[in-house]
Chain A
Amino acid sequence: MTSSPHLRDPNSIPRIMRLVCVALAPGIAIYTALIGPAVLAQICLASVAALFFEAVMLKIRALPVRRFLGDHSALVTAWLIALTFPPLSPWWLTVIGVFFAIVITKHLYGGLGQNPFNPAMIAFAACIIAFPALMSQWPAQGLSLPFEQQLEIIFGFAPRIDALTAATPLDAIKTALKTNADTNIQELLTSQNLYGTFAGRGWEWVTMTYLCGGAFLLAMGVITWHTPFAFIVSMAVISALCWLIDPGRFSDPLFHLFSGGAMLGAFFIATDPVSGCSTPRGRLIFGCGAGLLAYLIRVFGVFPDGIAFAVLIMNICAPLIDRYTQPTVFGRRARGSDAR
């Protein structure tokens, strides 16, 4: 006979994963409108690769393939990889990324629920270290290639012409500052026509839609407010400080929040329940640390963006943070006195 309770909320892991995909959809639509169907091609490619690796690993681990494939967790990882990798990356780069995420980060560490690190971010980190040039080539602003040509580039039938690709607005600023110490950011952004209404032109709307998708996840109760809130606040505060000190060398907070992977990171990556913190206070610390580190890495580091490394560093700290932020048990007075 079964144990109580005999009722169950209809929520399920597949439903959670589907909701995450639904929340990503508007961002993907805008991104596609900005870049072209290459984005969708990458998503399809990553999804197929992820399901393939997932199935193989489940088979090897002698787990029910059909049931675990149906939890859609591999799809979420695949989509995040496709959205964080440059859209014109060669197909094998995406597949290597997915391999790192699904096979190494997820299954070799025990599968769903066991991975200490965010799989998509390990994929990004591994690839940007191994293939720094390819991982930094983004479609040049205003470039609109026909779909066939995009596909040809992805699948290696057309030469990768440097003129077709460029750095992201974030990366462009950093490179300019490095090569010429006198560069003024405001002038640079205006002169290169990189600046839109409040952040990188075009990109601002993609990130804005991620924010809306994040709000949807909050409303559906898939994530809690703590991590994204702390992430956004900490990044806003540190960027505002730097900007106030020297507006010529540092971009304003809005530019940072709506550029690169900030919004995707705040709502879809740092909120990964498996590799993140689980206590309310822990999540505040986690989000805070991730936002701060992401800013420091993207501004002072060598990589175009800092979300991946920031999240991974916080992943390392998560168990320790959880341990010291256990909430008070109902009925026990002192915090952490007898119950950790």
Chain B
Amino acid sequence: MLRTLFPFPGGVKPEPHKEASAKAPIASAPLPERLVLPLRQSAGVAPLPVVRVGDRVKKGQVIAAAEQWVSASLHAPTSGKVADIGHYPLAHPSGLAAPAIVIEADGRDEWRERQPLDWQKLAPQAVRQYLQQSGVVGLGGAVFPSHVKLDANAQIEELIINGAECEPYITCDDRLMRECAAEIVSGAALLRDLTGARQTLFAIENNKPEAIRALRGAISEQHEDFIVITLPTRYPAGSLRQLVYALTGKHAPFNVLPTALGVQCFNVATVQSVWRAVAHGEPVVRRVVTVSGNVRAPKNWEAPIGMSMDALLQLSEPLSDTDGLIVGGPMMGLSLPLTDAPITKGSNCLIARSPRLFPPRPPESPCIRCTACAQACPQGLQPFELYWWSRARDFAKAADYALAECVECGCCAYVCPASIPLVHYFRFAKGELAAAAREQKMADSARSRFEFRQFRAEREKAEKAEKLAKAAAAQAAKQAETATTPLATTQDATMKSDPDHA
């Protein structure tokens, strides 16, 4: 079946660098002795620990439970002992420490009891809760809890399974689609039933022919009516808004979720983890991580959550001139020094950096308004204008030029001949705008509190005056009855009704 694709504006075509790590099958990383599990593994609220230091845990046992709806539980990736609950550094340039549970492995890797879920007999809400308790979150990098996206009230027309994987170097989804196509298709069928989607579309860039073939095979084997759509390779084809538009022609401003357009989107690895959770009773305790870049053996590793990044990197034998890591893709990922921060559910790729592979950015030149950035922007923005206003600290003007629509994909900074770190400027401007909005909100609420206090004081004053006047009138009436001088009483009442004298 031939479908018309709706081409999104802009985009860039960086060197893919995918072959090296896509060749080898996914390898299982050896179990480390110590696992550090930051509580915050997903967007939303972090789950709360339900184990104590010294507790013995089995693989797959809940160690932190989700207490709110936008949150997902966390599980022990292997059997062992809870060694510590404390603050540990995260994979973030700030090096900030965050609450984490540390597990010392006992080497037995012993599962807790696993039971498949008879999901067809359960109400959709029960399945959603089960997914939350299984710690299923978006594994494409955004780590949004998946059960939240399965809102019963949303009228979903199209379900999109995202296997575009448009960032250079990353091949974990490619390998997963080749090796676990059947599980992905089963998972997609489950999500289709949960969302009630009319149509299920798989989106894959055309540089992954094996993955496309594998998925098409699995779909016809399972007699599903899913359609695999081949996208032209162009970054950021896998970005949510661009993908939804390419496949459905629907697009929305930044503050409207695709759900509102009747579209829901899941990453292929997420879909597989949904299926593992439901069909095998396995919560999310491992994920496939691409290790590539300046290494001797680029490969995809299935690694337990909580494994140290450095330990995983060593498995792929980094070359001697490795001077850092990129966590995520080279277009949107974080650049870090070599770190033993843990792998989390969102870590899809580790790239060993070297000055040869990632030469430092040349110094920033003045913008010559060549508009290369505007031609590359997949959101149709004018980045050079945004840059101009951000640099001038006129953030309101930047907001006027639709700064909020920027998805920080990096296309503009990638093409900029003046080597301006545009995304950096935009993050800064967004931060300043957010701070200003917070301050404004605080000021507004302070003002309304003050105004209400004033109003209340006025009201109380008026009420009091009224009361006093009434009392005075009553008294006056009484006194009139007893025929005393009315003048003195009136004066008295006026004095009393003045709050300053009260």
Contacts and interface: CB of A to CB of B under 8 A. Distances in A.
Interface string A7-37: 1110111011000000000000000000000
A16 B417 contact: yes
Interface stretch (B311-319, B334-342, B441-449): B334-342
Given A113-B369, A274-B369, A7 B380 contact: no
B332 interface: yes
Interface in A49-76: 67, 71, 73
B9 to A, nearest CB: 6
Contacts of A2: 335, 360-361, 421
B47 interface: no
Interface in B362-388: 362-363, 365-372, 374-375, 378-382, 384-385
Interface string B396-424: 00001110010010100111111101011
Interface stretch (A130-138, A140-148, A327-335): A327-335
23 contacts: A1-B324, A1-B337, A2-B335, A3-B423, A4-B408, A5-B413, A5-B414, A6-B358, A8-B413, A9-B14, A12-B417, A16-B368, A16-B370, A113-B369, A273-B371, A278-B374, A278-B382, A329-B253, A329-B380, A329-B402, A331-B241, A331-B254, A331-B380
Contacts of B363: 67
B330 A332 contact: no
Interface string A187-224: 00000000000000000000000000000000000001
Contacts of B14: 7, 9
Contacts of B216: none
Nearest to B379: A330
A326 interface: yes
A321 B379 CA distance: 22
Nearest to B14: A7
Nearest to A15: B417
B402 A273 contact: no
B331 A4 contact: yes
A327 B408 CA distance: 19
Nearest to A275: B369
B351 to A, nearest CB: 8
B149 interface: no
B150 to A, nearest CB: 24
A1 B245 CA distance: 34
The 5 closest A-B pairs by CB, nearest first: A5-B410, A113-B366, A330-B380, A3-B424, A331-B251
Contacts of A278: 369, 371, 374, 382, 384-385
B366 A114 contact: yes
Contacts of A113: 366-369, 418
Interface in B227-269: 241, 245, 251-254
Contacts, number: 141
Interface residues of A, number: 35
A9 B330 CA distance: 13
B419 A279 contact: no
Given A330-B405, A331-B241, 17 more contacts: A2-B360, A3-B421, A6-B353, A6-B358, A7-B358, A8-B419, A9-B416, A12-B362, A112-B368, A113-B418, A273-B370, A274-B368, A278-B374, A326-B401, A328-B380, A329-B253, A330-B381
Contacts of A339: 400-402, 405
B379 A7 contact: no
Interface of A is mostly: loop
A195 to B, nearest CB: 39
A224 B402 contact: no
Q: Which of B324, B353, B363, B366 is packed against the most chain A CB atoms within 10 Å?
A: B366
Contacts of A273: 368-371
Nearest to B407: A330
Interface string B142-180: 000000000000000000000000001000000000000
Contacts of A332: 253, 402, 405
Contacts of B37: none
Given A4-B332, A273-B369, A330 B417 contact: no
Contacts of B112: none
A197 to B, nearest CB: 36
Contact of A13 (B326, B371, B374, B418): B418
A6 B254 CA distance: 25
A113 B380 CA distance: 22
A111 interface: yes
Q: Which of B326, B332, B336, B371 is packed against the most chain A CB atoms within 10 Å?
A: B371
A5 B252 contact: no
A8 B379 contact: no
B45 interface: no
A185 B207 CA distance: 62
Contacts of B34: none
Q: Which of A2, A224, A330, A340 is packed against the most chain B CB atoms within 10 Å?
A: A330
Nearest to A63: B366
Contacts of B374: 278-279, 327
A165 B410 CA distance: 56
Nearest to B17: A7
Contacts of B400: 339-340
A112 B369 CA distance: 10
A134 B460 CA distance: 88
Given A16-B370, A330-B8, A331-B241, A5 B332 contact: yes
A8 B14 CA distance: 8
A279 B330 CA distance: 29
A279 B382 CA distance: 8
Contacts of A16: 368, 370, 417
B333 A4 contact: yes
Given A279-B382, A327-B382, A330-B8, A111 B427 contact: no
Interface string B70-81: 000000000000
A326 B330 CA distance: 30
B380 A9 contact: no
B31 interface: no
Contacts of A7: 14-15, 168, 330-331, 358, 414
Contacts of A71: 365
B427 A3 contact: yes
B241 to A, nearest CB: 6
Interface string A59-98: 0000000010001010000000000000000000000000
A331 B377 CA distance: 13
B310 to A, nearest CB: 16
A66 B184 CA distance: 57
Contacts of A111: 366
Nearest to B12: A9
Contacts of A73: 368
